[in-house]
Structure 1
Amino acid sequence: METSRLDLMYKTQMMGELKSILLAVDGSDFSEGAIKEALLLSKACGIKLTMLYVQGLSDTFETGGLTFVETTNENFIDKYFDKIREKAAEENVELDVIVRRTSEAHKGIINEAYEQKSDIIIMGRRGMTGLKRLLMGSVTAKTLAYAPCKVLVVPKESSVKGENIMLATDGSEYSETATVEAISMAARCPLVKSFLAVSVVPSRENLPTAHVL
């Protein structure tokens, strides 16, 4: 994982001052992009990275006549952690690994963010599929909704370059924080080439009410 000092500096400028980073992983390939960006940001900021693995469904759920209890392959998890520790060592990043058990993964992530006083949570776009996804709902979406800090969602093979920023707003009070942060990011990072604001309305009839920045 080779990244120039200039790239690291720009990543730091774009995200602002970070003193505590929480990386949430689930053991799937969909966390790979998040792992890479979390390591690079931690390296750029010169801070320790805290990695959280929420150990899936520890309770028994019943739905539609089906009962499901998650089992964990401890050998797989150990190898998974070792792989990430090796990547952290390559980047000279201090890594703390935390494992939590909870029946609601997003609550485990949010509670840890409060405990760590995290400035940002970094996680993948999606992970669990099939029955697990049906029972758990969208962990990423729920984390975004209730997190006490910024959340960076990184798709599997993506990287944050800081060249193009798109802000989606519906004009509500809940969009104001996102608006301020997006504008600040664009102002901080010299790599930004374009800034696009998209106003979202529920139907064509509502276009006249579209929010204008």
Structure 2
Amino acid sequence: MFHKILVAINNTEIGQQVFQEALSLATANNAELLLLHVISPVDDEELNFPSPQADSIYGSFHTHGVEYYVRQWEALKKHRIEFLTLLTNQAIAQNINARFIQEIGTPSRLICEIAQTWKADLIIIGRRGLTGINELLLGSVSNYVLHHASCSVLTVQGKTPVTQKTSQAA
């Protein structure tokens, strides 16, 4: 029986699947949910450094680049807080005790640390289905969590890319 479920979530299709699974398990077990979103400055696709070519050659790149990045960073954090608030309110509307936190750093490590500190019984996390060289190059948050978590882990499989097989004519 699970009493405290940590839900590692992001604003993607697989994130929605993870959230739905968490709602089901929380309802069935009368469990508390902690929604966790980790912003990784290195991995987040919405954070883009401006290129030096985009600015003048007179040295204003640094000042304008930093200002641009700070504005982009603040907008992203605000957008993600709104997303987490919406999900938390959906859970509360279903009589589930829920709250959220947003952290900045390395997702895999933070998920495990927060689960241990919060004394979670279960972590629910999405899995993109990376294998081989993609997993090696991009890393796998779910794989790290599976091997380092101090509690049970449920991975929700995202849609895997469909590989087309050529059919041979007889």
Whether these two folds match at TM > 0.5 is yes
Once the two structures are superposed, what CA deviation does each residue of 1:152-188 show, in whole Å capped at 9, x if it has no partner?
A: 011348xxxxxxxxxxxxxxxxxxxxxxxxxxxxxxx
CA distance in 1, matches of 2:78, 2:13: 17
What are the ranges of 5 or more consecutive residues in structure 1 without an aligned counterpart?
1-16, 60-68, 128-132, 158-213
Contact 2:9–2:15 under 8 Å retained in 1: yes
CA distance in 1, matches of 2:138, 2:149: 17
* Residue matched to 1:107: 109
* Residue matched to 1:91: 94
Residue 32 (structure 1) aligned to one of 13, 16, 32: 16
Quote the offset at 1:56 in angstroms: 1.1
CA distance in 2, matches of 1:47, 1:36: 14
Residue 79 (structure 1) aligned to one of 77, 82, 87: 82
**Aligned length, in residue pairs:** 127
Q: Name the SS for the 2:11 alignment partner.
A: coil
* Residue matched to 1:144: 146
CA distance in 2, matches of 1:134, 1:79: 33
Q: 1:134 to 1:77 in 2, by over 3 A?
A: farther
Q: Which of structures 1 and 2 has the larger relative contact order (alpha carbons within 8 angstroms, sep 6+)?
A: 2
Identity of matched residues, %: 29
Q: 1:136 to 1:117 in 2, by over 3 A?
A: farther
Quote the offset at 1:36 in angstroms: 0.6
Q: TM-score, normalised by structure 1?
A: 0.52
CA distance in 2, matches of 1:36, 1:89: 13
RMSD (Å) for aligned C-alpha atoms: 2.9
CA distance in 2, matches of 1:87, 1:145: 31
Contact 2:108–2:145 under 8 Å retained in 1: yes
Quote the offset at 1:58 in angstroms: 6.3
Q: Name the SS for the 1:112 alignment partner.
A: helix
Q: Name the SS for the 1:148 alignment partner.
A: coil
Residue 31 (structure 2) aligned to one of 34, 38, 47: 47
Q: Name the SS for the 2:86 alignment partner.
A: helix
What are the ranges of 5 or more consecutive residues in structure 2 without an aligned counterpart?
44-68, 130-134, 160-170
Q: TM-score, normalised by structure 2?
A: 0.64
Superposition pairs of residues 14-29 of structure 1, within 5 angstroms = 17-29=1-13
Contact 1:50–1:97 under 8 Å retained in 2: yes
